[in-house]
Chain A
Amino acid sequence: MDWNVIIVNLPFLMKGLWMSIKLAVLVICFAFPIACVMAVGRISNRLWIRYPSAIFVNIMRSNPLILIVFWFFFLVPILTGRPVGDFASVMIGFVVFFAAYFTEIIRSGIQSVGRNQIQAGLSTGLSYFQTMRMIVLPQALRNMIPALITECVIVFQGTTIAYVVGLREFLNSTFLVTERTLRPAELYIFAAIVYFIVCFAGSLLARQLEKRKVIT
């Protein structure tokens, strides 16, 4: 074992880690609002809203992320008619995929809020969307924070998949360094430790918040 290889290549590796974090944060920032809208659609009484959201969510959830990334990597340039760059293609694939998972979390969060809350909201003269925005979603959000944090950890783990299209995130940077230095043991163990620290911290936070009382 020669751990020097990590110190020497640390700036390059950290650039990769920064890319992973950037990717994860951007994906969460885009996927979450989309998911909020879709979750409301998923429990709508109007079938022409409910069915398309349900079909979308189920298609995304029954495919592996890596395949979705391939799909978008192939489709986005064809659909837009011009190359948009690897980062954008991968981002779009990730956002669409994780929006489906966030939708399901938000939906079950909304459904954890008692039905009488909605009735109370409507009966005080609020419109359906006002009830959703001011009464249901704030309570639902609080209930689903642990699940959301867990999902954010999964998004961070998922960014490793960008490796397959050659985006220079943390795993891909590690891979590139191993190709050059022929020191896979130290480098992959280092990568595993870094991922573990970030993800374990996230898991602990989620568990801590889970202990708080859930509003019903």
Chain B
Amino acid sequence: MALNYDFEWGLLLENPHKEWIIEGLAHTVGLSLTAWVIALIIGILIGTIRMTQSPLLRFIGTAYVEFFRNIPLLVQLFIWFFVFPLMLPNDLMFAWNRLPHVPLITALLALSLFTAARVAEHIRAGISSIPKGQFDAARSSGLTQVQMYRHVIIPYAFRVMIPTITSEFLTVFKNSALTLTIGVAEITGAAKAIEAWSFHGIEAYTVASVTYMTTTAIVVLFMSWLEHRLRIPGLIARK
């Protein structure tokens, strides 16, 4: 099978391609890091309220998770981008449309809320994995429910959950590629633009793939180091 294709790797270093790639990298990394941090905060909140005694709070938590997990991210992006501004009162809508980088802000909003639902699931699984004795011990030493979570359960659960929480970063990192559909110039979008511009798809998509694969490799290495550092004595190490 003859491959009918002329490789021209040099064109990646030519402008405007080089600028697109650099901008794409910055957007992908910046967007996914920010979204991940916001998602952790919201996710921990939602995950925790799902473990409380109050049926109302539990229902809110469950509804949040089911809602965001069962609608495809791309549909959510479109709703935040096309529908959400229409739902705002008029003056707010104008203010929203006047914001700089509306696509970027929308992408951040959608990615954070979507990822938060996934984080909340991991948090719940982590908390459920804590032996019941920890809860009893905390309560019997006189801690209130909030204190119990704050000082005993969450620090414990967090260490159990480090692998899933870190790999959630990789999920956001990959999901950020979807934001090209609403006009965020992230790395996959940059690669697509170079392909459309020069028809050198192999070179362009290689840049994007290498970005994702290198990041994955780095995060996986970091994760195993961190997991080793923070393992809870007495728990059997994974693998």
- Measured CB to CB, the residues of A under 8 A from B are 58-59, 61-67, 70-71, 74-75, 78-79, 81, 153, 157-158, 160-161, 163-164, 171, 175, 178, 184-185, 188-189, 191-192, 195-196, 199-200, 203
Contact = CB atoms under 8 A, between A and B. Distances in A.
Contacts of A178: 82
A125 B69 CA distance: 47
A70 B213 contact: no
B175 A64 contact: yes
Contact of B71 (A74, A164, A195): A195
B188 A70 contact: yes
Interface in B156-174: 170, 174
B212 A70 contact: no
A67 B212 contact: yes
Nearest to A157: B72
B64 interface: no
A11 to B, nearest CB: 21
B69 A203 contact: yes
A153 B4 CA distance: 38
A69 to B, nearest CB: 10
16 contacts: A62-B216, A63-B212, A64-B174, A67-B212, A70-B192, A74-B201, A75-B202, A157-B73, A158-B72, A164-B181, A171-B72, A185-B87, A188-B78, A188-B79, A188-B83, A196-B67
Contacts of B202: 74-75
Nearest to B216: A62
B178 interface: yes
B109 interface: no
A33 B11 CA distance: 40
